[in-house]
Structures are given as structure tokens and as C-alpha cells.
Amino acid sequence: MRELQADHPLGPGDRVLHLGLPLWEYLWPLRTGAAVVLADPWQEGEVGALVRELGVTAVRVAPGALLGG
């Protein structure tokens, strides 16, 4: 988590959208005071719309989620 924080700093004002990631990546933003935004993986729609609607400042996506699998 320290390496992630060093590479992609998060703080209390951040809202992080997670799509299909391991548990420890959900814990990383919480350790920094950022909020975790959980999206329904079966929800139809565009990720960009979620980002705008929920005020997301960072997105973490598993590679398989980008490929539709």
C-alpha cells in the first residue's frame, strides 16, 4: 500500500471508484482518509457517468474489467 500511495497519492478529499479489485486495494484509500465508491458491477452504463455523478477523483480497475471479462 505504501508503494501505491507513493505512486498515486490519495487523501481525505479523494473518492476512489473500484471495479473488480482485491480487498487490499479497497483498504488503501481508507487508510489515507479517502472515500471508496462501490459500483454495482452489473449496472448498465458508462463509467464516465459514474465518475461525474459521484465526484470520483481516482479510478482503480482490474485489467479483466476493461476487457469485459
> Could you report the per-residue pLDDT of 42-65, keeping only the tens digit for each?
666 677 888 888 899 988 877 766
Specify whether the backbone of 56 is left (phi greater than 0), alpha (psi in -120 to 50) or beta.
beta
What's the domain count of the chain? Answer: 1
Average pLDDT, the chain: 80
Residue at 25 is within a domain: yes
Separation CA 5–CA 9 (nearest Å): 5
Position 66 scores a pLDDT of: 64
Residue at 37 is within a domain: yes
pTM exceeding 0.75: no
Q: Are 16 and 35 contacting, i.e. CB atoms less than 8 angstroms apart?
A: yes
Position 65 scores a pLDDT of: 65
Residue ranges with strand state E in 4-65: 15-19, 35-38, 58-61
Residue at 68 is within a domain: no
Q: Which residue has the higher pLDDT, 41 or 38?
A: 38
Residue at 20 is within a domain: yes
Range(s) of the domain holding residue 27: 2-63
Residue at 69 is within a domain: no
